[in-house]
Copies of this chain bind each other. A is one copy, B any other.
Amino acid sequence: MLTLLHHPLCPRSRYVRLILGEYGVETRLADEPFWERRDDFLMLNPAGEIPVLVADSMPPIPGAAIIAEFLEETHAPEDSEDRQLMPQSPGQRVEVRRLASWFNDKFHAEVSGPLVNERVFKRHMTKEQGGGPPDTDALRAARHNIRYHLHYIGWLVRTRDWLAGDRLSLADLAAAAHLSAVDYLGDVPWNEDEMAKNWYARVKSRPAFRPLLADTLAGIPPARTYADLDF
């Protein structure tokens, strides 16, 4: 049995949950208040960040990209190429990894990281841990930045069926995971790009997405259309 140390609204943790869901890997979820820097948690991941996947007779697996590579190498359905989230050809693998990193790193730095940090994590933190009221400049910058990312998604799916090519891949899950955390907070301007919205509706309707749509945080209810497949 696998255990994922996560936070329900951490975008990178959501990415891992989607992969586990697509591959049908049963996993126990454990909320980790990473900002407390618990000794037991730092033993698992000295970097002090979530997500961390804990598997039997394995070292702890830290970080969304490393967990994704691990799951590809150990849990991808070998008999069904249609269900694989990482294509086989070197060129396609580059494109999938490029876009997964685009969302896990760049979109996270410019949009989902600041929004979730300012609006969710900081509520739980003491002043010493970095808590306090949201930084309105950071929120404004993130809400500005998300527009060009939506247009980028729209541009990609105008030329391809899915973000990285003609099949669903890790790239779609990464993008949708980060957007879903922002969407929970009501900060995705879906009217900016119709194609991006249509693509998200397709990913959102997958069975693997259902557990994410059922998340609710105490004190921070989801945006009105967060769980609607027709939004």
Contacts and interface: CB of A to CB of B under 8 A. Distances in A.
A94 B70 contact: yes
How many monomers of this protein are in the complex? Answer: 2
A65 interface: yes
Given A47-B102, A95-B59, A90 B65 contact: no
B65 A93 contact: no
Contact of A94 (B46, B58, B91, B95): B58
Interface in A75-103: 90-91, 93-95, 97-98, 101-102
Given A65-B65, A102-B47, A73 B58 contact: no
A167 B65 CA distance: 23
Contacts of A152: 46
Interface residues of A, number: 25
Contacts of A62: 98
Contact of A73 (B46, B93, B101, B106): B93
Interface of A: 46-47, 57-59, 61-63, 65-66, 69-70, 73-74, 90-91, 93-95, 97-98, 101-102, 106, 152
Given A58-B94, A66-B98, A73-B90, 14 more contacts: A46-B152, A47-B106, A57-B91, A59-B95, A62-B98, A63-B98, A63-B101, A65-B101, A66-B94, A66-B97, A69-B93, A70-B93, A70-B94, A74-B90
Q: Which 4 A-B pairs have the closest CB atoms?
A: A66-B97, A58-B91, A61-B94, A59-B94
